[in-house]
């Protein structure tokens, strides 16, 4: 394990008796307004699966449900392989923290599917958008005094963080109104793997802030990531920037959904991702 902030944040120690139980402790490096950036909490669940002695294969999907903001301090991860087939394996993960009243409370539930992948016919029907290369763009300025934003080198092409919030509802087309395309990488640099890619799938700022240019209170409720690369494939990306894209779809009665994707600079679709987000007003 390196001392990269992401590896420190997601560091887990295995229980000596029960192989399904892991222990960790938050660090401030990825803190958001209330609690840590959700992506790194999902990454804890992913790490627990990857560390589990019964692991079969590599991640195919993760769904993380954000039940409550994590507090600073210790947490416990319960990571159960609930079904192991010949080539696929199903996991349920629960992250708990003890509250002030000494009650254990759920902060994240997740399901993961892992599988032994085999080479097959394939095609990429989600080609990477043609955009300027990362090197030709400037790194986005820090938009708020929030720790986790500094953990990413973000270079927006379209749909960057709004320069001002003036309540102007976008008059762009439905396809464009909440679209962000952005080059992304860990800061400091860190070779891409399933841990960091899980977190990167959650870096897009809330689509409703772009759509309405109003910073209403929000919170991601559930996020899913489908992985379309092997661990070796991710390792080949190394510390290069990857291209992220996200767009809002339906906004109604306090919840909107987002669809997104992440590509290597060579145009391989590394992951597709979706989330549903609570918003107020």
Q: Which residues contribute to the site for a copy of itself (CB under 8 A)?
A: 60-61, 63, 65, 67-68, 82-83, 85, 88, 90, 92, 94, 105-107, 109-111, 113, 115, 117-127, 169, 174-175, 177-178, 211-212, 221-222, 224, 226, 228-230, 247-255, 257, 259, 261, 269, 272, 274, 276, 278-281
Kindly tell me which of 164 and 280 has the beta carbon lying closer to a copy of itself.
280
Q: Closer to a copy of itself at the Cβ: 8 or 218?
A: 218
Alpha carbon separation from 281 to 213, 218, 247 (Å, rounded)? 13, 10, 20
Minimum CB–partner distance for residue 13 and a copy of itself (Å)? 24
d(CA 262, CA 128): 9
In angstroms, give the least distance from the CB of 225 to a copy of itself.
10
Measured between alpha carbons, how far is residue 164 from residues 160, 175, 200, 210, 245 in Å?
A: 11, 22, 25, 10, 21
> Smaller CB distance to a copy of itself: residue 26 or 109?
109
Sequence-distant (≥ 6) Cβ neighbours of residue 6 within 8 angstroms:
30, 40, 43, 151, 186, 190, 195, 196, 199
Comparison of 77 and 149: residue with beta carbon closer to a copy of itself:
77
Whole-angstrom Cα distance, residue 91 to residue 115? 11
**Bond into 188 cis (ω within 30):** yes
The dihedral formed by the CA atoms of 244, 24, 58 and 35, expressed in degrees to the nearest 10: -20
Q: Which residue lies nearer to a copy of itself by CB, 57 or 156?
A: 57
Q: How many Å apart are CA 140 and CA 142, to the nearest integer?
A: 6
CB of 141: closest distance to a copy of itself in angstroms? 27
Least separation in angstroms between residue 236's CB and a copy of itself is 14
CB-wise, 146 or 218, nearer to a copy of itself? Answer: 218
Residues contacting 16, CB < 8 A, separation 6+: none
Shortest distance, position 2 Cβ to a copy of itself, whole Å: 28
Shortest reach from residue 217's CB to a copy of itself, in Å:
11
Which H or E run includes 42? helix 38-51
Distances (CA, A) of 260 to 107, 114, 209, 227: 24, 21, 16, 12
Q: Among residues 26 and 178, whose Cβ is nearest to a copy of itself?
A: 178
Nearer to a copy of itself, 5 or 35 (CB): 35
Query: Taking the complex as a whole, how short is the minimal distance between the CB of residue 145 and a copy of itself, in angstroms?
Result: 27
Q: What angle do CA 221, 273, 74 make, to 5 degrees?
A: 50
* Least Å from the CB of residue 46 to a copy of itself: 15
């Amino acid at each position: 394990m390196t001392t990269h902030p992401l590896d420190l944040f997601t560091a887990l120690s295995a229980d000596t008796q029960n192989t399904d139980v892991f222990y960790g402790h938050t660090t401030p490096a990825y803190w958001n307004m209330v609690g840590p950036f959700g992506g790194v909490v999902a990454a804890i669940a992913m790490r627990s699966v990857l560390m589990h002695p019964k692991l079969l294969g590599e991640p195919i999907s993760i769904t993380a449900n954000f039940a409550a903001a994590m507090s600073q301090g210790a947490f416990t991860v319960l990571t159960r392989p609930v079904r192991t087939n010949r080539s696929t394996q199903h996991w349920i993960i629960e992250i708990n923290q003890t509250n002030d009243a000494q009650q254990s409370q759920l902060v994240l539930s997740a399901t993961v599917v892992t599988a032994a992948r085999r080479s097959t016919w394939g095609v990429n029907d989600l080609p990477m958008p043609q955009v300027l290369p990362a090197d030709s763009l400037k790194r986005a300025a820090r938009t708020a005094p929030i720790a986790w934003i500094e953990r990413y080198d973000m270079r927006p092409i379209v749909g960057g963080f709004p320069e001002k919030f003036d309540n102007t509802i976008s008059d762009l087309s439905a396809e464009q109104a909440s679209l962000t395309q952005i080059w992304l990488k860990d800061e400091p640099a860190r070779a891409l793997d399933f841990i960091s890619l899980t977190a990167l799938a959650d870096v897009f700022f809330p689509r409703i802030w772009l759509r309405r240019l109003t910073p209403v209170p929000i919170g991601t409720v559930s996020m899913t990531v489908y992985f379309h690369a092997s661990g070796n494939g991710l390792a080949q990306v190394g510390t290069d920037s990857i291209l992220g894209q996200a767009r809002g779809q339906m906004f109604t009665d306090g919840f909107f959904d987002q669809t997104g994707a992440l590509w290597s600079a060579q145009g391989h679709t590394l992951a597709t991702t979706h989330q549903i987000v609570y918003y107020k007003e």
